Structure 1
């Protein structure tokens, strides 16, 4: 969604609670992109093993923070599956970006 210079694959990341007001244009955070993880069975999106999967991808995108955008579990008589979409965020560069014309 927004280009940012990649960071080291083990970069420090904040884990923040999603707040759409802070992620709107001109807000405290801008969305760089998303990392989606799916799993057969139930998953806890805050589990350390999933954070270890998300971290290198978020760092490569230039992220400074991640947040859970959506997380859902679907169960049927035959199986259970879960999926989580993590938002990769950074603080906007100083000076902001100029409005784009279409």
Structure 2
């Protein structure tokens, strides 16, 4: 099992918790060395997309995207902090880009 070290980081006005996430899910492999993983902290209603180094298993920070979820089990996204900007509108959260498109092409090697 991969150990995760998560630091308190600010992305726009959002922060991700300092403790390990409650859940993680591999979203997309972006090349031989990297993938995008989704981390979730249920009690704080936060989530993050971040880069995962496939060789070391390390999560690379800062995260690419931090999300705030509405209360309840359906996980409706209420705010998305994408590269330092608050995208709190329906258009962006319903048309979220493919995970690998969040990273620069040279990082996908």
Q: Same fold (TM over 0.5)?
A: no
Tell me which of the two structures has the higher relative contact order, counting C-alpha pairs closer than 8 angstroms and 6 or more residues apart.
1
When you count strand as a share of all residues, which structure comes out higher?
A: 2
State the TM bucket, normalised to the shorter chain: under 0.3
TM-score by length of 2: 0.26
